[in-house]
Structure 1
Amino acid sequence: MVTLHRDALDFLHRVMNKITVMDKLTPPSKSTQKLILVTFMLISFVCIFYVYYNPNTTFFKYPTVGIHANSSCSETCLHVLKMQNYECIMKNASDNPLTTPAPNPAKEDQDIIVLIWMAPFGVRFDLKDCGSEYNIHGCQLTYDRSMIQQAHGVMFHHRDMSADFPQPPRPAFQKWIWWNMESPSHCNQNDFLNDRFNVTSSYNRNSDIPVPYGRLVDATDEQKNFTIPKKDKLVCWIVSNFQEHHKRTHFYYEFAKHINVETYGGHFNNRINSEDYGNVVSSCKFYLSFENSIHRDYFTEKLFNPLALGTVPVVIGPPRYNYEEFIPRDAFIHVDDFPSPKELADHLISLDQNEEQYKQFFNWRKLYVSKSTSFGLEHSCKICDYLKRNKHYIAVTDLKGWFWG
């Protein structure tokens, strides 16, 4: 409600009294009445207009007062917004919630710093540009531990994990990433895993940042002109981790009774170097892509390397349907499709004698090629991309239950 000054009210009162007196003395003409009415309306309009046009003028006895929010925490809220893009809520005197403005876009465009706290297996990988490698921009990858207070994300490789963690306090905006490419069967369940990390990155598609060992990607026109490499071996296997309790070990013992297998690796005292690896695998019609443990989504370079080198993988691993979520069903042979190792051996011998049927395993090469993951670099760049797109709070409260459960 706007309250007029007493002087303005007195002025209007005197005008009305004069009108009353004049009315008693002499009846005004119609033109006079119209003039008086117009004059009164004009004076009223001027007063009201002046009130709203300049409400703080001293002409009024009781000036209007604007309502201001309590800004005691505004600086703190804006600081958090700039650092984390969190939503900061403050209340005014009347307890009405207000939301602070969005952070400065220039702050959001700053590089995301990803600190690799532990080099995988003690070997540092090259920190190449994420933009040129994966079309992921605005990333700064580093091994420099002195940047611990500035890093938006810190990567911890599970197999190299120890008590050597950054000292508190941990910046509120910083996320810790649990990074692991081994299967649950070959990872220790450390007691300090729970309630320590914010994000997971592994081969498992249920990870926050899934990175498989490889994938099929579109082939270029040149790659579509694929020719099956020359073959002089039927079945090959390269293995060093040969454990008696592995499913693949039991299968191999029976399988090798019915077919010749060219064996390489530490266990067979026939090691080959990286230069010879490609030549050996590509010279085999079939390669035993036997995983050391059976877990969902766990198929490694043992699968993707033979695919890339023009060899048909014979797999032991998760069920066939899981493989078919990643590669075509006619690109591989699953041991579970056969009642026994002997029947698998008979099938491979039959395929060796039927060239046209064997060629059908490479139909997918008309469209795709197999690409392996760049271990470490691809994880780091994809973690950077994730941190750019996900600035909300997140925590992994039961890592042991999720990965080993």
Structure 2
Amino acid sequence: MFLFNGVSLRNSLLLLVALVLLCDLFVRYFERNSDPEGSATVAPPWSQAQTAEREFSGHVIQTGNAKGRDNNTWLNDEMLAANGKRRIKTILYWNSLFGKPDFGLGFGRSVFEKAHCSFSACTTTNDRAKFDKADMVMFHGFQIRAADMPARTRHDQIWVYYNRENPLRSKESVRGMNDKFNFTVTYLDSPDTDVRYSVVRVPKSNPYKLPDVATIGAKSRMVVWIVSDCSVHSTRVEYVQELSRHVQVDVYGACGNLSCPRHPRSASSKCYKKIEETYFFYLALENGFCKDYITEKPVIATRLNIVPIVLGYVNYSQILPPNSFIDVRDFKSPRHLAEYISYLGKNIKEYMNYLQWKAHFPYILRIKGDKNLLICRLCEVLHNRDFKYKSRFDLEDYWNSGKVCLVGDKERESVHLTKLRVR
């Protein structure tokens, strides 16, 4: 009866048309709003994230994560996966980092997941059979050998020059290496450094504990030096030799007759705890007098109740807590330094002035460019279609020790050793 009712038929047709139009509108709306390259702006993943790569927020504006065609939409890992655009990127470790085949970063997919990277669609390997398919190849610059270098087979493959040492220790390895690398991970403060290792101040959640006078007064030895490289041509070795003529210096490691169970890398190690209880001063001497070159040595000292004596081509006042260290360059000679620290060792209240910063300094020092931050950054770069990596790069000029390091008489003059000759 319904089909033969004219009015009912007309109403039914109108209702059917309305339903078709409504469905069409719904489909259009869904397609527009589910397209990551639509008009809606999504906040970049580093804007709120508390992960390691947030430290690179200042760089992301320049290099970005992967962007959509409208240059406004930020794509994170999940959005890429949902739209079928994510491909697992492979990072190949070509050589090793001082015996570590994984560069100390780890193997496989889990490396990126454990680091909570915004971009985790990456994996790492040291299987050279995967060289042709690798998206990125990492080389430890300190251990590069020309005979071991592969021939590039892909123009879009990113080659990473990774070196945390200074140019003086690896200057020979860069000869003939121009136009091979297009990404750098070093300590150099240069526009050509893509990921830089440096010391940064991070807000500290809990305050430092200022030691009492009795604890400091219980120290029984003056100066300690932990060192594994004792090259006779090193200025720092010459300086310590001269210093030890005027004050007691105990040497741990390959260059001395004292040792720890293992070479300490953490302020929490038993060896450092023993050193903290025993010694007034800790020698934090860099193995090269190169601009901006600083290692973990003075950083570790700030986590102990000990005063570091620093030597390096660095403005330590911009890095370390105020009045927390003694700079070798401030003294006319090793003898003058020895006289000053001997005075402090006998006058505990004066010595304590170098630890007072712990009562009000709200930061902890860390090495920027650590494991998690680096691994996340590398994966981000591989998924970033807008990242402009170097196409022709003069590595020999970038890693030129003559430009950033002092050697010979210039180095000796800077630490007031010009009139001294250790025989």
Q: Is the 8 A contact 2:174 2:399 kept in 1?
A: no
Is 1:164 matched up with 2:148? yes
Aligned partner of 2:250 in structure 1 is 262
Map of 1:403 onto structure 2: 399
Say if 2:234 is the partner of 1:246: yes
SS at match of 1:253: helix
**Identity percentage of aligned residues:** 27
Deviations 1:338-395 (A, max 9, x none): 1111221122122223334333333444412233578666543333344445523423
Matched, 1:178 2:155: no
- The normalised TM-score by structure 2 is 0.63
Structure 1 residues 372 and 310, CA gap change in structure 2 (3 angstroms): farther
Q: What displacement does 1:262 show?
A: 1.9
| Structure 1: gaps spanning 5 or more residues | 1-83, 89-101
Q: Deviations over 1:153-189 (max 9, x none)?
A: 221111222333444421x432111000111111024
Question: What corresponds to 1:383 in structure 2?
Answer: 378
> Are residues 259 and 291 of structure 1, via their aligned partners in 2, closer, same or farther at CA, if it must alter by over 3 Å?
same
Is the 1:120–1:376 contact (alpha carbons within 8 Å) kept by the matching residues of 2?
A: no
Contact 2:115 2:372 in 1 (8 A): no
1:117 maps to which residue? 94
Distance in 2 of aligned mates of 1:252 and 1:134: 44
Larger displacement relative to structure 2 (223-232 or 148-157) = 223-232
Q: Does 1:155 align with 2:141?
A: no
CA distance in 2, matches of 1:134, 1:184: 33
Question: Is 1:208 the counterpart of 2:190 in the alignment?
Answer: no
Give the aligned partner of residue 277 of structure 1.
271
- Structure with bigger gyration radius: 1
Note if 1:219 corresponds to 2:204. Answer: yes
- Go from structure 1 to structure 2 and tell me whether the alpha carbon gap of 1:134 and 1:333 turns closer, same or farther (over 3 Å shift): farther
Distance 2:389 2:367 in 1: 32
1:199 aligns to 2:187 (yes or no): no
In structure 1, C-alpha distance between the alignment counterparts of 2:357 and 2:398, rounded to whole Å = 35
Letter in 2 for 1:119: S
Match of 1:286 in 2: 281
195 and 346 in structure 1: CA distance in 2 versus 1, 3 angstrom threshold: same
- 1:152 offset after TM fit, Å? 3.1
Partner Cα distance (1:330, 1:244) in 2: 32
Distance in 2, matches of 1:382 and 1:324, equals: 29
**2:316 corresponding residue in structure 1:** 323
Aligned length: 305
What's the Cα RMSD here?
A: 3.4
CA distance in 2, matches of 1:201, 1:86: 24
Distance 2:350 2:114 in 1: 41
| Amino acid aligned to 1:391 | F
Instruction: Tell me: higher relative CO, structure 1 or 2? Use CA pairs within 8 A at least 6 residues apart.
Output: 2
User: SS of 2:232's equivalent?
Assistant: coil
Q: CA deviation at 1:290?
A: 1.2
Q: Give the partner amino acid of 1:116.
A: Y
Letter of the 2:394 counterpart: D
Task: Measure, in 2, the Cα distance between the counterparts of 1:326 and 1:157.
Answer: 27
Residue in 1 that maps onto 2:346? 353
More helix by share: 1
Q: Which residue of 2 aligns with 1:142?
A: 124
Partner of 1:342: 335
Q: Residues of 2 paired with 1:360 and 1:135: CA distance?
A: 42
SS at match of 1:236: strand
Q: Does the residue aligned with 2:195 lie in a helix, a strand or coil?
A: coil
8 Å Cα contact 2:223/2:282 also seen in 1: yes
- Equivalent residue letter for 1:265: G
Change (3 A) 1:145 1:267: same
- Aligned ranges for residues 38-187 of structure 1 at < 5 Å? 106=83, 112-124=89-101, 125-127=104-106, 129-130=111-112, 132-133=114-115, 136-143=118-125, 144-162=127-145, 163-170=147-154, 172-187=155-170
Cα 1:131–1:334 shift into 2, 3 Å: farther
